[in-house]
Amino acid sequence: MKGIGMIEYEKIYIRNIGLFTNEEQEKLRNAVVSIAGVGGVGSYQAVALARQGIGELRIMDPGVFDEPDLNRQYGALISTIGENKATATTKILHDINPHMKIKTYTKAAESAAEIEEFIAGANLVIDAIDYAGFGHKQLLHERARANSQYVLSSPIPGFGATLMVFSPSGMTMEEYYGAPADPDLYKNFRLSMDKLMPAGIMPPIYREFEQGRIGYLSTNGASAQLSGALTGLEASLIITGKRKKEDLIVIPEVIYIDLFNRDYKIFNPCAKG
DSSP, residue by residue, 255-267: EEEETTTTEEEEE
**Main-chain phi, psi angles of 106, to 5 degrees:** -100, 5
> Which H or E element spans position 160?
strand 160-166
In this structure, what DSSP letter does residue 167 have? Answer: -
- pLDDT (tens, 9 = 90+) of the chain, 273 residues, equals 445 556 999 999 999 999 999 999 999 999 999 999 999 999 999 999 999 999 999 999 999 999 999 999 999 999 999 999 999 999 999 999 999 999 999 999 999 999 999 999 999 999 999 887 899 999 999 999 999 999 999 999 999 999 999 999 999 999 999 999 999 999 888 888 899 999 889 988 888 888 888 878 889 999 999 999 999 999 999 999 999 999 999 999 999 999 999 999 999 999 975
Q: Is the peptide bond before 252 cis (omega within 30 degrees of 0)?
A: yes
**Main-chain phi, psi angles of 46, to 5 degrees:** -65, -45
d(CA 105, CA 87): 8
d(CA 99, CA 12): 10
Would you say 238 and 163 are in contact if contact means Cβ atoms under 8 Å apart?
Answer: no
Ramachandran assignment for 175, one of left (phi > 0), alpha (psi -120 to 50 degrees), beta (any other): alpha
Largest CA-CA distance found in the chain, in angstroms, rounded? 61
* pLDDT confidence of residue 190: 82
Q: Give the CA distances from residue 100 to residues 28, 31, 33, 38, 160, in Å, rounded to whole numbers and listed in that order.
A: 11, 10, 11, 17, 30
Question: How distant is the alpha carbon of residue 20 from its chain centre?
Answer: 22
d(CA 24, CA 16): 10
Look up the pTM and report it.
0.95
* pLDDT confidence of residue 212: 80
* pLDDT confidence of residue 191: 84
Kindly list the structural domains of the chain, giving each domain's residue range(s) and its CATH number in brackets, ordered by start: 4-267 (3.40.50.720)
* pLDDT confidence of residue 1: 43
Ramachandran assignment for 169, one of left (phi > 0), alpha (psi -120 to 50 degrees), beta (any other): alpha
Cβ–Cβ contacts within 10 Å for residue 181, how many?
Answer: 6
